[in-house]
Structure 1
């Protein structure tokens, strides 16, 4: 007898038994995925958007589809001001937000943009990945926001000019410098002797063409995105301010996740930030290397002269009074005394 081949009767009997057992067993119910929204202002080709989409894909895969985060790029759900409002009300779950915009609800966030505070990326990340960043994140939690432990990078801001080289503060006297809304920029350029002029980012190109403004302060990537380099002749690598977007979450949203899922979300967004930082460094190197062929003149200015001018104007003394002693101390642990 072949023991490996059951009789037809035995097979049918076994099939009936299996069918009965399957009817008696409880059904396996897969939980519906938790759907979340991530609103962003970065365009789809921007490294910020690219890395966020990669992160949401990894999160979906690592959680077996149980966490499904949809990224809405290019301001589809609103600009930065809209995003911070929507995040706090829970209309969205995540956003990326510049430190300067975030400072409207978390004042300490603007400390990372203090003029001529950081001389290099090493110092930026020592501060923002370290004690200073932790203090800012603690302030976020007080208003219902959770910040990821790693920020992304808008990069250092530099000066552009239409018809003059900017090497020292003297070159800025009366210079109509375009600035975004915000006291940090106005205070900085007033202290340097310029004439800060607020112009919406969408109107900068036209403002340069018509002479409403003489120059800008922008990161290299933004100069390229807005085609500013088409209407500017000089770029001074002042690195006068650093700014970066925080990746932030609605506190209630992220606390509603299991510990495992929360850890996966944070891990992947923090990896996205590290990847995007590398993208920006690579772009900056490429931009500077090819500037000559674009008709731009790259200038290495006297950065210490600018910082000395700020000390003399009482800039650091003014802003020290606007931040907590703990935040200022954490900043100077990295930068050294600011004056």
Structure 2
């Protein structure tokens, strides 16, 4: 009896020992590196919507203001296994895969709903697969950042922007990638590459004449303190993609993957709706801060910008017929 009891006891202990890791398994640590502040809508949506939804199996560790990974290096860090999550732009992806530049082209996306339709359409499948296969980055969802406008130090009396010709000689801060710099030139300005964290001081000292960003960013970063006008050029319906490590994704169970995907989509939708509502409120706020806000000749800008892309090296990388497919998904 003693031998039987001992064997049974050992078997029970063995089963318990083997089962223990299933119930006491450590959570997966997912570090987010984002160049934006903690109060940015992207940061808030991920912290308040994404993080709680995946809390059962993921320890979410956000790092703001580029404090963990320098802006522009996040994709490489995910690819090398040094980062698990970030947000990225089409412009940054275009550095690795030039065809992504189409999603950063002036006046291609029409509005926030059009962005979602494009991202979820089969036309995006090959783009997503390329990012996964060649960079180890899974693009989970698309985040609406708002319509980008030209924001200048000069008063409207000193410079009124009506057509692209009015931006000649204006040093306009743009992100440093080739795609961004091309867009700045297409607008008629002299694009100046600069990290986001340096913009405020550059505007304050006059190192640049202006910058382009959506109105919520102008407010969040307090650019209205060091500028005097916004020309509502709406030249880009800006976006970020939620970028996730494919290596981490592959280690998750199908159920966990489904939860992560839904959490990313829900976070993106939450941020999108808040951003749209916020945009509606900000014109009055900025005017109250003394800013001059007006709409230039959008037809002139649209025609000029599109003409710059025709025959350019960026358009050469676009899959044939893709622009027409994107346009067909709009209104």
Matches within 5 A, 1:292-331: 292-312=287-307, 314-318=308-312, 319-325=314-320, 327-331=322-326
Matches within 5 A, 1:217-296: 217-296=212-291
Pick closer, same or farther for the CA change 1:175–1:182 going to 2, 3 Å: same
Contact 1:152 1:244 in 2 (8 A): yes
Match of 1:73 among 60, 64, 70: 64
Cα distance in 1 for residues equivalent to 2:208 and 2:72 = 25
What TM-score, normalized to structure 1? 0.82
Q: Is 1:145 aligned to 2:137, yes or no?
A: yes
What TM-score, normalized to structure 2? 0.84
Residue aligning to 1:156 = 147
The Cα offsets for residues 66-96 of structure 1, whole Å up to 9 and x where unpaired, read as 3433333333321233321221122222222
Cα distance in 2 for residues equivalent to 1:243 and 1:199 = 18
Matches within 5 A, 1:2-13: none
Pick closer, same or farther for the CA change 1:86–1:220 going to 2, 3 Å: same
Match of 1:39 among 6, 9, 32: 32
Cα distance in 2 for residues equivalent to 1:77 and 1:320 = 34
| Residue range with higher mean Cα deviation, 103-112 or 227-236 | 103-112
| Residue range with higher mean Cα deviation, 162-171 or 297-306 | 162-171
Cα distance in 2 for residues equivalent to 1:33 and 1:190 = 50
Q: Is 1:92 aligned to 2:83, yes or no?
A: yes
Residue aligning to 1:14 = none
- Structure 1 residues not aligned, in runs of 5+: 1-19
Aligned-CA RMSD value: 2.6
- Structure 2 residues not aligned, in runs of 5+: 1-7
Larger of the two Rg values belongs to structure: 1
Residue aligning to 1:109 = 100
Residue aligning to 2:5 = none
Aligned residue pairs: how many?
Answer: 312
Higher RCO structure (Cα 8 Å, ≥6 apart): 2
Residue aligning to 1:15 = none
Contact 2:30 2:60 in 1 (8 A): yes
Matches within 5 A, 1:128-139: 128-139=119-130
Q: Secondary structure at the match of 1:38?
A: strand
Q: Secondary structure at the match of 2:44?
A: helix
Match of 1:52 among 27, 30, 46: 46
Residue aligning to 2:3 = none
Pick closer, same or farther for the CA change 1:48–1:122 going to 2, 3 Å: closer
Pick closer, same or farther for the CA change 1:76–1:244 going to 2, 3 Å: same
Shift of 1:311: 4.2
